[in-house]
Amino acid sequence: MSDAYARAARVLDGNLAGEMRNARVVPHWIEGGDRFWYRRDGADGVEWVIVTASTGERVPAFDAGRLREATMRAVSGTALPDDLPVTGITATDVTLTLAGRSVRCMLADYVCTGTAVPATPGVLWSPDGEHGVFVREHNLWLQSRDAAEPVQLTHDGVEHFAYGTPPGTSLFAVPRMRARQPLPPSGLNWSPDGKRLISLRVDERNVRPYPFVESVPQDGSHGPKLWLPRIPLLGDAERGMPEVVVLDVATRAATAVRLPDGWQFAQTVFHWSQDGVRAWGLSATRAQSEIALAEIDLAKGAVRLVVREQTQGIGRFNAFVYSPPNVRILEDSNEAVWFSERDGWGQLYLYDLATGALTRQLTSGQRTVRDLIGVDVAQRHLFFTAGGTDADPDPYQVHLHAVSLDGGAARLLTPEAGVHAVGRTPIGNGVPGSGSTAGLSPDGKWLVDTWSSFEQPPVTVLRSAVDGQVVRTLETADVSALIDAGWRAPTRVKLLSADGRTPIWGSVYFPRDMQPGLKYPVIDAIYAGPQVINAAPAYEEAVAALNPRARASLAELGFIVVTIDARGTPGRSKAFNNFSYEAFAEPALADHVAGIRQLAARYGNFDLDRVGIYGHSFGGYTSARGILSYPDFFKVAVSSAGPHNFQGFYSVEGLFPAPDYGNERVAAPDPQAIPLNYAPLDSLPLASQLKGKLLLVYGELDENAPPTTTLQLIDALTRANKPYDLLYLPNRDHGFFRTDAYYTQRMWDYFVEHLLGETPPTDFTLELKAPVSTSGF
């Protein structure tokens, strides 16, 4: 098996990350929109090129050798990295950021001048760089670029109600507590002119502490450390009250922002008005049962809910909750673009900002808008990506469209079959306006589009935004390193859900050299959370998946690996997604079982007597739930970081309903109470049904999926006298499924031993080259 493990290591997601050359192009537009520059992987190293969109001409942006020499003269004594840290290119100069300096080099004569940038760890600077804020003793202090002494900006911050400090529900409280260097403040948004800050802080003084034990302290000490972030559990009456204030830099005044009773901000600011008088944010009621566009009067703190909409089931501002909201403010015409699923699909609507009245529905049909790419205000054209319909060959293919704000049918701009992604810049601090994408030129005439499929590695093209015609192919990804490593694309499959009529799609990774007539053990790689899909038909996602990981690696070990986007997942109709709103994993698990049975009948190589399942986070829940709910189907499960019950978990309202304790109570009447609508999701009562082999894994400092719910499942299994296996990972947070070689190898070992029936190698040590990450879902 050592050779198989070596092959599996070579195609592991983390070990392939970054191996595709020129898989994406990030355009940086110059002088209004007809020209842009981007960074590419050249034959001899990094290259920078400038493209003229109207002609498609591409030329080197500068002489890299001369620039390096000129930069070295300007920063004498400072070593230059191989990859020059270029941060800006115009027609006349190049800007680099290096060793505490901003270096500007003129292209006419390659003369560079360096400007010192003060080292200010823990400071969040305004967009104009004139002012910054940092946290000292729970308050914000204002640091001027020119002044030696900072000035206190707020005075009422206290422990657990501090400015610039994320709440425990941020799920990154422990890393911040352990940080040895000052961190920039959070929960703040600078206005584009640097005159105001909007601050969001949460009063956690009455929220009970949630203990995490660090058994192997990073500081080298030997006694365990106790960390106590304030994290309310589902049903806790004290959930932490948010406060939003507008801070005026010049006057030091704080103005409270007053939302109507029952409303909270989902996003405090995504657009600042050009005149500095107003800002717009997004708000919602509890469990996001009603959502709204909130207009803030910055001087008075008054809030007007411009657009209000009740939601059925999952409520959000984008069909994919981790994506930016599909909402835009069009100040010049006093309009707003709004995302809604009111007709059963994710659509875009145009509203009058002054009156809040609906002007018209912009998109239609049985497809869901993925992302609002941008708006050409002058021509009144809106650009968006959307999935297909269930009648299409694959509704998870994504295409780019344009539609007029004044009405009419949408125009398809990207006919090629695949997943089209038009790059976007984050909506956030210091960005004037309500967000745009790097893929759309500022003048609205050009688009930079990267698309791929399982059969086609990523291709990036420059298109006309008028008709989608390709002006030039900019890059075709070089995937030779992947092929040399042994990576093979999965097979796309269409199936029927357990109801026998709803089409579902998935991806299958087959073992190398699979022999006709032979049976192979099957592994279900599952997540099934209501907020993401996991079997997207895009080349990059197949190579380096977000979650679950290691699908191609497990195929190299001799397994057939299946991933299915079942009922309850997003990207299709609202009804399809809402299957998970109250039942969570039950429809998905039924669909996975039904889908695997169909694949077994289709291909003939599936050994249905040897089916395993694994997953992380929500996938940890569904994998354990799978072997408990379907003990005669799933024989082996590896469940990592699963929230195995929700009464011992923080609130996930919005994806799930508000808790119901009877008699219209949403707060737990006692510590032992379980909400009526969450009791069916509790996996602990199923412990006695375990028949197969179950490995439970958790990280000691995992705030996303606290270890207690795994320990509570362990207690239930113990009381039911059921054998299980446990992997306890000290000092690990939620991201260990991507970054921890030990976990990955033990997961492989478990399936090899208990599902494949072979002995794992003792002479193999998995090594990962991916950087450590603390994030994940």
How far, CA to CA in Å, does 771 sit from each of 15, 45, 774? 10, 21, 10
Phi then psi for residue 7, to 5 deg, are -65, -40
Residues 661, 676: contact at Cβ < 8 Å? yes
- Domains of the chain, residue spans: 2-17+488-645+683-756, 28-116
The residues with which 375 forms a beta bridge, in sequence order, are 382
- The per-residue pLDDT for 121 is 84
Residue 86 — left, alpha, or beta (φ > 0 → left; ψ -120 to 50 → alpha)?
beta
**How many residues are present in the chain?**
777
> Tokens for 713?
């499942």
Neighbours of 380 (CB within 10 A): 16
User: Which pLDDT score, from 0 to 100, does residue 771 have?
Assistant: 54
Q: What is the DSSP letter of 126?
A: -
pLDDT of residue 776: 53
pLDDT at 29: 93
On the CB side of 600, how many CA atoms lie within 13 Å of its CA?
19
Residues of the chain with pLDDT under 50: 425-435, 772-775
State phi, psi for 653 to the nearest 5 degrees.
Answer: -60, 145
Handedness of CA 56, 59, 60, 62 (dihedral sign): negative
User: What count of other Cβ atoms lies within 10 Å of the Cβ of residue 558?
Assistant: 19
Helix intervals (H) in 129-263: 173-178
Write down the pLDDT at residue 148.
75
pLDDT value for 662: 96
Beta bridge partners of 245: 199, 256
- Position 336 scores a pLDDT of 98
Is the sign of the CA dihedral 176, 182, 184, 187 positive or negative?
A: positive
Q: Quick one: pLDDT at residue 128?
A: 87
Class of domain 2-17+488-645+683-756 (CATH, top level): alpha beta
Preceding amide of 548 cis, omega within 30: yes
**Rounded CA separation 164/180 (Å):** 17
> Are the beta carbons of 363 and 405 closer than 8 angstroms?
no
pLDDT of amino acid 431: 33
d(CA 278, CA 300): 10
2 phi, psi to nearest 5 deg? -60, -40
The model's pLDDT over 377-434, given as tens digits with 9 standing for 90+, comes to 999 999 999 998 888 899 999 999 999 999 999 999 999 999 999 865 433 333 334 4
> How far is Cα 288 from Cα 581, in angstroms, rounded to an integer?
12
CB atoms within 10 A of CB 355: 10
DSSP collapsed to 3 states, 640-652: ECCCCCCCCCECC
* Contact status, residue 508 vs residue 560, Cβ threshold 8 Å: yes
Q: How far apart are CA 672 and CA 674, in angstroms?
A: 7
The closest of 602, 417, 411, 597 to 498, measured between CA atoms, is 597
Pairing of strands 446-452, 35-42: unpaired
Question: Which parts of 212-368 are beta strand (E)?
Answer: 212-214, 225-227, 241-248, 254-256, 264-272, 278-284, 290-297, 303-310, 328-330, 335-340, 347-352, 358-361
In the numeric block, which tokens belong to residue 766?
Answer: 């998995």
DSSP H or E run through 452: strand 446-452
Task: Identify whether the C-beta of residue 407 lies closer than 8 Å to the C-beta of residue 390.
Answer: no
Measured distance CA(637)–CA(614) in Å, rounded: 5
Spatial distance between the Cα atoms of 493 and 480, rounded to a whole number of angstroms: 26
